[in-house]
Amino acid sequence: MIDWNEKFARKVSRRLAKERVGWLVTVGSDLCPQPRPVWFLWDGETILLFSQAKARKIVHISKNPKVAFLLNTDEEGSHVVVLLGEAAIDAKSPPADKVSDYFKKFRKGIAELDMTPEEFGREYPVAIRVKPASLRGW
């Protein structure tokens, strides 16, 4: 269990709230790690991201919910953040374009994809929540 009041964890929480891209690592059927960059929203307890319905990460999570979530380092390899936890499909989540904090954070990126918020919501309809259980880094 992560103590989010601990100094390093507070720093990580601030980064999670601010940063736009993280790396979700799922486990493929061949047990090989499968990293991919994702847009995400941190709510203080879970990481919310949206996926295309036929993405391999959906299959991976359904077979093995264990995941890692990483933030980018600086050019020197400092500011490492590795969260380990479990991911689950969140069938109760509204679409991305109806999650106001998500939409605010990614409004510009969605426009740069030449998509309306509604189109984005239809293209990425599967909500995934990652619940971090442990944290390491420096």
Distances from the Cα of 119 to the Cαs of 40, 52, 112, 124, 134, in angstroms? 18, 12, 13, 9, 35
| Strand ranges of the sheet holding 81-89, from the earlier edge strand across to the other edge | 33-39, 21-27, 66-71, 81-89, 126-137, 47-51, 41-42
* Residue type, position 51, single letter: S
Average pLDDT of the segment spanning 8-31: 96
Q: Which pTM value belongs to this model?
A: 0.94
User: 86-121: per-residue pLDDT in tens?
Assistant: 999 999 999 999 999 999 999 999 999 999 999 999
pLDDT at residue 1 in the model: 86
Identify the structural domains of the chain with CATH numbers, from first to last: 7-137 (2.30.110.10)
Output the DSSP codes for 96-117. Answer: GGG-HHHHHHHHHHHHHTT--H
Average pLDDT of the segment spanning 62-80: 93
List, in sequence order, every residue forming a beta bridge with 22; answer none if it has no partner: 38, 71
